[in-house]
Structure 1
């Protein structure tokens, strides 16, 4: 049989049927060519040869694909199996019965029937084969020929049914597995298509670099970021010399550098020899366009500054009103005590406006951060000394627990402004007792350092926590509401974080940054 398949039959079953028919064809040929040498047809040679030639002709007839199209697959399969049982039964009868070995071939035919037949037809053919074998032995008993013990035949007939059932179950299991494999294959193909589309359309560039330094795969975004039309097959070091030592960057969070023909600012992150790489020895390189991110951040910053300016105008209006009113009253006031009070109001509100303007200007200078490894112990001692000009009693309020070798990578001016704000708040709300304000450092295993500023005051109420870092939110009557907001902004400008730590007791702030720039 030739062809890739027939309508109405799945490909695995069609292949099984084709191989089964090839086996039939070989078997029929052996019956004709080597039958006499195998002592087949010894009882009735003429009947044997007629049966063998008829079997060969029917095998060839039922092997044409056109017959499957005309009669239907199931009908042709049933006719083929019926021909097998009848032909083998007649050859068995003409060759001496059970001892001719035909029951073994019948078992093989039943096993093949279990693979290609549908439903319970295989049990029908097992029963038909059993009737043929038992009938032949019964005829030999009645004819006075040498029969076989019926117990032995019974065991063989039970084997017919066992082989038929087992082969059918195996065929059903194989069909279920093939169907599951096909379904999983379709799902995998769909998932692969989706993954390829995601990688092709993602905003980050992805490059798969072979062990020889050549680009094995790259998405279009990577080529566009490096100013090329395609990257596959190129030596990445030829695209930009910076890539020559890219393997040493493995496992890092990535660093910013200008790469490619347009010298674009990109964040390059490298993953080497880890699970998920396309092949052993390959290197994954992720490129993120930081120029676009910076533009978006600048737009967000401008929008935030716009909102901040509007809020600031509203906040400045109140002290200006107080200053204006105090100035008008000062013109009419003749008493010295009232003049001093009105002058103090003018000065206090003018200083409040000056603090607001200074804090807002600090926002504009956050991009000028120049981190350095600041020795925390000496820095904090100098800061606390400035807060303790009132004498030793004031100095005793602060307890510093920082080792001399601990450093924190921040811009020195920014660190001073952050700590000055935290220390001032802690001093304002603490109990003023000895050691009421604690400053201590905590090194982390990943190379970062945490600086704690903690007081023993009443703490921060839950309703205040959610607004604590919002601009112009303050619980102090003379505060501007920009101190903690500016402190967090300056921390982020130095790749550090500033958070309020939960827990009992007073306020507990934690500044976390790298130990070294």
Structure 2
């Protein structure tokens, strides 16, 4: 048993001992008062009234002295408690003798004493107290008969009472073991909870972002050092529940607490802090209350990270464009060098090559412009049962016979119409290009799935190799020599801008690209 567990046990033992000492003092006092008021009328109930009176007076005095001693002397608790039960057994034995044998009231007091001894003392000391009680109840009748104090008429009741003492002792030991088991379990759980709390606190202290948790009354429930630093709050508030209007009045005045929406973002500056903050609101649903989490970031650092990401993306994009243009440009330069020394037939061939590579460069530039052009998205409700056939008729008429289309009735989504048109054209033409020669058509299926709408474009070609799956939606990735690798990237970006998802679905044969978005009733 660890030192902390031992100290906890002694602490509980001491307080239970105080309660038991108070109980026995009250019981002894009540018995004495009852005897003094009823002795004249019920004198025949007491076989030896003077012994009963003197025993009660001694019992009250001993109980008072032991209670005062236990309260004022906090050490040697394990030595003081056995004396309490020894005095109880002696006093109750004398009272039993004074009333000429066991009765219900004294028997109950005996049972309470033995059970309390089983709880407060170790097993050996409790057993000693129990055996003393058994001996005092059984053999006082034999002792009394020798001096003609009583007869052996109550020997049966005494034997039953002695057996009851042993049963109570056994029950008390079982209860003690159960209590110890529960106490050890509770102690281990409290250690684990304490460890997790310290770990959570350590993690919060190391996080760069500020976290501020508010309850329904707009009081600070939890904050980490980063939040205190950003808001200009003393660190003390990070560990106490404190009204926000006292800690950070500027933020309190800005917040319309009952109108905060989950996911809401806003900028904040305060006279108490020199930081310009970006704050995001998150609602936390916990049992019996609703908490609000404010995630605080230094706006200058956030803007710096955004600029770094933009520069990194720009560098990657520039490198990709340079790589993509270098190949057709090299072919143009080579063809141009050969053009002067070639005959008429070779010149025509080289001219076609130059024109083809020029068109490829133009297509790369055009796709790049489409990719980086920041066009606003304007979602509207689209009835797919009308939109899909019209799309095939207007934009895909040259391959309409190769499209096998199935659209469920009355399916609508919210999507930017021009962007959805471009996404479907890219996916369908890609599917036609990669379709197997043995199959004369591709499949376009539109159907509902739970609360979503799925648009599947499937071909029956070779599919996408597993090594290429991770690069599918990256810019400038293409398995075709003439491809720019921007079609799937643009389609993926358009879907994300309309809260939809474009993904690849593995098939036994061919490839399937799926658009999944929310259905509109």
Fold in common (TM above 0.5): yes
Partner of 1:478: 482
In the superposition, relative to structure 1, how do residues 302 and 207 fare at CA in structure 2: closer, same or farther (>3 Å)?
same
Deviations 1:254-311 (A, max 9, x none): 566657679987665557xxx62543xx575766879787874554343133123223
In the superposition, relative to structure 1, how do residues 336 and 382 fare at CA in structure 2: closer, same or farther (>3 Å)?
farther
CA distance in structure 1 between the partners assigned to 2:421 and 2:378 by the alignment? 12
1:199-348 equivalence runs, <5 A: 203=209, 210=216, 215-217=218-220, 231=244, 239=254, 258=266, 276-279=286-289, 282=290, 284=292, 296=305, 299-333=308-342, 335-348=343-356
Partner of 1:153: 158
CA distance in structure 2 between the partners assigned to 1:276 and 1:197 by the alignment? 22
CA distance in structure 2 between the partners assigned to 1:217 and 1:29 by the alignment? 52
The answer to whether the Cα contact below 8 Å between 1:225 and 1:260 also exists between their aligned partners in 2 is no
In the superposition, relative to structure 1, how do residues 442 and 259 fare at CA in structure 2: closer, same or farther (>3 Å)?
farther
The answer to whether the Cα contact below 8 Å between 1:369 and 1:411 also exists between their aligned partners in 2 is no
1:417-432 equivalence runs, <5 A: 417-431=422-436
Partner of 2:504: 500
SS at match of 2:340: helix
Residue 454 of structure 2 is aligned to residue 450 of structure 1: yes
Residue 383 of structure 2 is aligned to residue 370 of structure 1: no
Residue 81 of structure 2 is aligned to residue 81 of structure 1: no
CA distance in structure 2 between the partners assigned to 1:19 and 1:219 by the alignment? 38
The answer to whether the Cα contact below 8 Å between 1:218 and 1:232 also exists between their aligned partners in 2 is no
Residue 69 of structure 2 is aligned to residue 62 of structure 1: no
Measured after TM superposition, the shift of residue 343 of structure 1 is 0.7
Pairwise CA RMSD = 4.4
Of 107, 132, 135, the residue aligned with 1:131 is: 135
**Residues 171-180 or 229-238, more deviating:** 229-238
Partner of 1:24: 24
Partner of 1:119: 123
In the superposition, relative to structure 1, how do residues 383 and 295 fare at CA in structure 2: closer, same or farther (>3 Å)?
farther
Measured after TM superposition, the shift of residue 324 of structure 1 is 0.9
Partner of 2:239: none
In the superposition, relative to structure 1, how do residues 22 and 278 fare at CA in structure 2: closer, same or farther (>3 Å)?
closer
The answer to whether the Cα contact below 8 Å between 1:223 and 1:231 also exists between their aligned partners in 2 is no
Partner of 1:15: 15
Residue 446 of structure 2 is aligned to residue 436 of structure 1: no
CA distance in structure 1 between the partners assigned to 2:228 and 2:449 by the alignment? 40
Deviations 1:117-166 (A, max 9, x none): 22222222222222222222113444554322433321121012112222
In the superposition, relative to structure 1, how do residues 128 and 40 fare at CA in structure 2: closer, same or farther (>3 Å)?
farther
The answer to whether the Cα contact below 8 Å between 2:210 and 2:223 also exists between their aligned partners in 1 is no
TM-score (norm 2): 0.76
In the superposition, relative to structure 1, how do residues 507 and 175 fare at CA in structure 2: closer, same or farther (>3 Å)?
closer
In the superposition, relative to structure 1, how do residues 458 and 156 fare at CA in structure 2: closer, same or farther (>3 Å)?
same
CA distance in structure 1 between the partners assigned to 2:250 and 2:508 by the alignment? 59
CA distance in structure 1 between the partners assigned to 2:389 and 2:213 by the alignment? 46
Measured after TM superposition, the shift of residue 357 of structure 1 is 1.9
> What 5-or-longer segments of structure 1 have no aligned partner?
1-5
CA distance in structure 2 between the partners assigned to 1:511 and 1:295 by the alignment? 34
In the superposition, relative to structure 1, how do residues 39 and 7 fare at CA in structure 2: closer, same or farther (>3 Å)?
farther
In the superposition, relative to structure 1, how do residues 67 and 203 fare at CA in structure 2: closer, same or farther (>3 Å)?
closer
CA distance in structure 2 between the partners assigned to 1:153 and 1:410 by the alignment? 92
In the superposition, relative to structure 1, how do residues 226 and 125 fare at CA in structure 2: closer, same or farther (>3 Å)?
closer
In the superposition, relative to structure 1, how do residues 54 and 245 fare at CA in structure 2: closer, same or farther (>3 Å)?
closer
CA distance in structure 2 between the partners assigned to 1:484 and 1:278 by the alignment? 47
Measured after TM superposition, the shift of residue 329 of structure 1 is 0.8
CA distance in structure 1 between the partners assigned to 2:324 and 2:375 by the alignment? 27
SS at match of 1:120: helix
Partner of 1:3: none
CA distance in structure 2 between the partners assigned to 1:92 and 1:510 by the alignment? 91
> What 5-or-longer segments of structure 2 have no aligned partner?
1-5, 234-242, 271-275
The answer to whether the Cα contact below 8 Å between 2:283 and 2:292 also exists between their aligned partners in 1 is yes
CA distance in structure 1 between the partners assigned to 2:457 and 2:143 by the alignment? 108
Partner of 1:398: 403
